[in-house]
Amino acid sequence: MSKQQKRYMLPEEEIPRYWYNIQADMANKPLPPLNPATKQPLKAEDLYPIFAKELSRQELDQTTTWVEIPEEVREMYKYYRSTPLVRAYALEKAIGTPAHIYFKNESVSPIGSHKLNSALAQAYYCKQEGITNITTETGAGQWGAALAYAAKVFGLEAAVYQVKISYEQKPYRRSIMQTFGAQVTASPSMSTRAGKDILTAHPNYQGSLGTAISEAVELAMQTPNCRYTLGSVLNHVALHQTIIGLEAEKQMELAGEYPDTIIACFGGGSNFGGLAFPFMRHKILEGKQIRFIAAEPASCPKLTRGKFEYDFGDEVGYTPLLPMYTLGHNFEPAHIHAGGLRYHGAGTIVSQLYKDGLMEAVDIQQLESFEAGCLFAQMEGIIPAPESCHAIAATIHEAKKCAETGEEKVILFNLSGHGLIDMASYDKYLAGDLTNYTLTDEEIQRNLDAVEAVL
Amino acid sequence: MSKQQKRYMLPEEEIPRYWYNIQADMANKPLPPLNPATKQPLKAEDLYPIFAKELSRQELDQTTTWVEIPEEVREMYKYYRSTPLVRAYALEKAIGTPAHIYFKNESVSPIGSHKLNSALAQAYYCKQEGITNITTETGAGQWGAALAYAAKVFGLEAAVYQVKISYEQKPYRRSIMQTFGAQVTASPSMSTRAGKDILTAHPNYQGSLGTAISEAVELAMQTPNCRYTLGSVLNHVALHQTIIGLEAEKQMELAGEYPDTIIACFGGGSNFGGLAFPFMRHKILEGKQIRFIAAEPASCPKLTRGKFEYDFGDEVGYTPLLPMYTLGHNFEPAHIHAGGLRYHGAGTIVSQLYKDGLMEAVDIQQLESFEAGCLFAQMEGIIPAPESCHAIAATIHEAKKCAETGEEKVILFNLSGHGLIDMASYDKYLAGDLTNYTLTDEEIQRNLDAVEAVL
């Protein structure tokens, strides 16, 4: 038998003590979020009614390069970190590539994905500031599960709006959140004005992250001592997730290699930024030649086919206006099984980096993503989340190119989570019941027209 | 916030190189398995038609204390081992106990349980001996998933008979096995004589591990180049699982403590023996004061209410006669959700140790097991397998006793696997739809009478 895998771990004392804030190193800083009423740049104070103060501050901080990880959060990180960096020999062999493929395995976190890295930080800061209740939305349910557990750790009450289609496709993610003690509501619901408005206008609407965000933000704004938390898109979320890339840097050093290509799936940008930003620092500061590839679903191609505009983060328009690549805040994504990638916009940092040509993006079709996921499962023994399958498909693309050129490139991708709660999706794929979704230019333009009306 | 958890890991070079064979150290060796026709003790050769030769040899080896782990198997262990040893501060606090609670977290293996430890070894030896196809049974599906992946690693074809009630209660374990490329059949099936006989006599029979074993053994015996593999009960399975306890010994040393009480759930004995035997060595050889507690379900109480007798390992009577605590090979267990604990007999090593008073056993009711599992999930962030919930419940019992006496006992239990594929069971528990099962003495005696007729 040839070598199947090799795992690299960090000793506890090597777990990073600081998160990395890429904003401080960017030549072109992200444009500021705007108050939708006045169109004026927002200050941190303007965000306090929605987010914890420290998170609001982190969101807009464009000068502090290294942000200290609070000791209580780092203590919790030590429970499941470092996550393994794995050389995927078996996958390389199956593809027949000379490329060296590594993956960072975030699926080993107790809740099964990278989402816990930021959930713990957000719950911690809320607790510190005397907040008692937190609310959020969740698509695939990975974020909701992470937040439900993080809330429990810090003694907070959590209320989660789960996108209805995911609530139905993945009922067990709801069960997990409930087991952790969270209150879970399918979105759109009749419990908020935002939900009611949508359900009366579109009675069978299956929900979107944008709508669920509206509901959660509304609840936070109307409830004393309650704040909203978000699992992706925002700068402070990507900040917390940089623990992934910071560890991976040290682990690649243990492996004696350096990545030529870094790949992650792309929903709002949290697992992508988490892995990519610490490496991109060396591209920005030292001109290091590294390619960064965001793998998004073909059915929600905000980077490859969206437009860079100020747009709302949610369906209803409760959030600030964010400068981002967007398909329009009222974009209704197809019901693909990678629920975590069904979001209309890209985070503002990634949007700026993409605009500046520091990274690339590729679109992956649903069937190709599952095909890649099944191959990975058989080779590496881990059922990947449907979201992560997009990163695997993009990795296989790049590895096959190396097979043609004979280049021994080093590819590193993020296994953002496992797919054990997504077996119904795998069942459908294996039974031949899944399809691809391709948007026409017209469909995309229709939504983009609506975006241009925002500013 | 008080401390929540503390994790202890071993560096790669500390992963054990030998499995521990407790048979060599036992004063009273397990009695030999008997040929059911001649009632004569079996030799290793007699097992060759069913098992790989090396596994047959390991099964009967009562003299070799340390068995070298083949390099290819150890390479695979390094992919996911050491598994963490965790001090569960949060759980201690929730119980209000002065006890120190540790758990060995086997749920982080790629397939989610300890079962992979033996699946890899068994698939390896089969491959070495030129076997091309392997077959097995699975209850909860943890073993089947492990074997499916292990078969893939070593390039073997796997056919799995899954107990029908589990096939229906946990359809996604079937999907996982299929994603790994295994062929899965609900048992009893009409594809074997054993299955046909049972289904014609009992048309709606929901299956048992005993029946599924009969089907898998039959397939192995009737197919050239095909061998049977088993996920528990047998001595060689417990041998491979001692990697758990051997690691835990070193990790407890890192923690600066030594366990007073060691607890594991009990189906056939593989996760129990795996954790317990390396520690029991010190009880046997040095008289070290350690309590060992096997936590079995009240609905399948082979240790606490069964009888020590020679009995078949399967329903039909294909296997050798094994000297064990049994409820009778035709015992039909209640449909509890801890599918992995629904087996009529205890492995021969554990049976002898229990008979000799070296260990204890407790019965846990289904509702108590899920209550314990939910508390653990909220405190430690991991949804435990319904099987593992029994170990947690027994741990909570012991920890509560310490709360009464004020003793700072050190309790170590095995988290044999996660319950992410068992969320339907948690759903039912949370909805109040689960019940306890208590067997009357009459029900137990009826089956035991049948056992006595065996010899």
CATH code of the domain containing B269: 3.40.50.1100
Residue A2: the pLDDT is: 75
Say if CB A390 and CB A296 are below 8 A apart. Answer: yes
In a domain, B295, yes or no: yes
Burial class (CB in 10 A: 0-12, 13-18, 19+), B286: exposed
Question: Is the CB of A7 less than 8 angstroms away from the CB of B80?
Answer: yes
- The range of the structural domain enclosing residue B343 comes to 3-14+69-112+236-452
Residue A60: the pLDDT is: 97
pLDDT of B91 > 70? The answer is: yes
In a domain, B142, yes or no: no
In a domain, B130, yes or no: no
Q: Which chain A residues are closer than 8 Å to B145 by Cβ?
A: none
A223: number of Cβ within 10 Å? 14
3-state class (DSSP) for residue A78 = helix
Say if CB B140 and CB B168 are below 8 A apart. Answer: no
At residue A447 the predicted structure's pLDDT band, cuts being 50, 70 and 90, is confident
Query: How far does A134 lie from chain B, in Å, by closest CA?
Result: 17
Facing A79 at nearest CB: one of B7, B154, B178: B7
Do the interacting molecules here have an ipTM over 0.85?
Answer: yes
The structural domain count of chain B equals: 1
Kindly state the tokens that stand for A82: 């470092």
Say if CB B334 and CB B311 are below 8 A apart. Answer: no
How far is the C-alpha of B207 from the C-alpha of B390, rounded, in Å?
Answer: 22
In a domain, A271, yes or no: yes
pLDDT of B176 > 80? The answer is: yes
Residue A339: the pLDDT is: 82
Facing A4 at nearest CB: one of B7, B76, B180: B76
**What residues have CB less than 8 Å from B447, skipping those under 6 apart?**
B327, B328, B330, B331, B344
Residue B241: the pLDDT is: 98
For the residues A216-240, what does the mean pLDDT come to? Answer: 96
For the residues A146-164, what does the mean pLDDT come to? Answer: 96
Q: What residue of B is the nearest CA neighbor of A378? A: B180
Residue B448: the pLDDT is: 85
In a domain, B129, yes or no: no
* Interval A25-65: pLDDT, tens: 999 999 999 998 899 999 999 999 999 999 999 999 999 99
Query: How far does A373 lie from chain B, in Å, by closest CA?
Result: 9
At residue A1 the predicted structure's pLDDT band, cuts being 50, 70 and 90, is low
At residue A337 the predicted structure's pLDDT band, cuts being 50, 70 and 90, is confident
How far is the C-alpha of B245 from the C-alpha of B412, rounded, in Å?
Answer: 10
Question: Is the CB of A110 less than 8 angstroms away from the CB of B381?
Answer: yes
pLDDT of B2 > 80? The answer is: no
**Site from B172, B337, B427, B428 to mutate, A interface, most A CB atoms within 10 angstroms:** B172
What does the buried/exposed string (b/e) look like for B220-232 if buried means 16 or more CB atoms within 10 Å of the residue's CB? Answer: beeeeebbbbbbb
Q: Between the CA atoms of A280, A283, A284 and A285, what dihedral angle is there, to the nearest 10 degrees?
A: 110
At residue A357 the predicted structure's pLDDT band, cuts being 50, 70 and 90, is very high
Q: Which chain B residues are closer than 8 Å to A386 by Cβ?
A: none
For the residues A112-129, what does the mean pLDDT come to? Answer: 98
Q: What residue of A is the nearest CA neighbor of B380? A: A110
- Length of chain B, please? 455
**What residues have CB less than 8 Å from B222, skipping those under 6 apart?**
none
Facing A153 at nearest CB: one of B4, B12, B152: B4
**Longest CA pairwise span in chain B (Å):** 66
Question: Is the CB of A75 less than 8 angstroms away from the CB of B178?
Answer: no
3-state class (DSSP) for residue A11 = coil
What are the distances in angstroms from CA B32 to CA B2, B21, B213, B353? 52, 16, 20, 15
Closest residue by Cα to residue A234 from A455, A442, A43, A30: A30
Query: How far does B191 lie from chain A, in Å, by closest CA?
Result: 23
What kind and span of H or E run contains B320? none
Q: Which chain A residues are closer than 8 Å to B430 by Cβ?
A: 175, 178-179
Q: Which chain B residues are closer than 8 Å to A120 by Cβ?
A: none
Say if CB A153 and CB B4 are below 8 A apart. Answer: yes
Residues of chain B above pLDDT 70, percent: 99
In a domain, A87, yes or no: yes
Residues of chain A above pLDDT 70, percent: 99
Question: Is the CB of B80 less than 8 angstroms away from the CB of A110?
Answer: no
DSSP state string for A353-380 = HHHTTS-EEEEE-HHHHHHHHHHHHHHH
Place of tokens 């046909």: B196
**Longest CA pairwise span in chain A (Å):** 66
Say if CB B377 and CB A180 are below 8 A apart. Answer: yes
At residue A334 the predicted structure's pLDDT band, cuts being 50, 70 and 90, is confident
Stated pTM of the model: 0.95
Q: What residue of B is the nearest CA neighbor of A88? A: B79
How far is the C-alpha of A156 from the C-alpha of A171, rounded, in Å?
Answer: 23
Say if CB B340 and CB B389 are below 8 A apart. Answer: no
| Amino acid symbol at B400 | K
Q: Which chain B residues are closer than 8 Å to A378 by Cβ?
A: 149, 152, 179-181
Facing B423 at nearest CB: one of A90, A110, A172: A172
Average pLDDT of chain B is 95
Question: Is the CB of B179 less than 8 angstroms away from the CB of A374?
Answer: yes
What are the distances in angstroms from CA A152 to CA A77, A147, A162, A273, B415? 15, 8, 18, 26, 21
Residue B452: the pLDDT is: 67
In a domain, A82, yes or no: yes
For the residues B18-39, what does the mean pLDDT come to? Answer: 96
Say if CB A259 and CB A411 are below 8 A apart. Answer: yes
How far is the C-alpha of A424 from the C-alpha of B282, rounded, in Å?
Answer: 47
In a domain, A49, yes or no: no
Query: How far does B280 lie from chain A, in Å, by closest CA?
Result: 28
pLDDT of B1 > 80? The answer is: no
Q: Which chain A residues are closer than 8 Å to B426 by Cβ?
A: 175, 179
Kindly state the tokens that stand for B286: 């040095």
Say if CB A145 and CB A420 are below 8 A apart. Answer: no
> E strands, A35-99, where?
66-68, 85-87
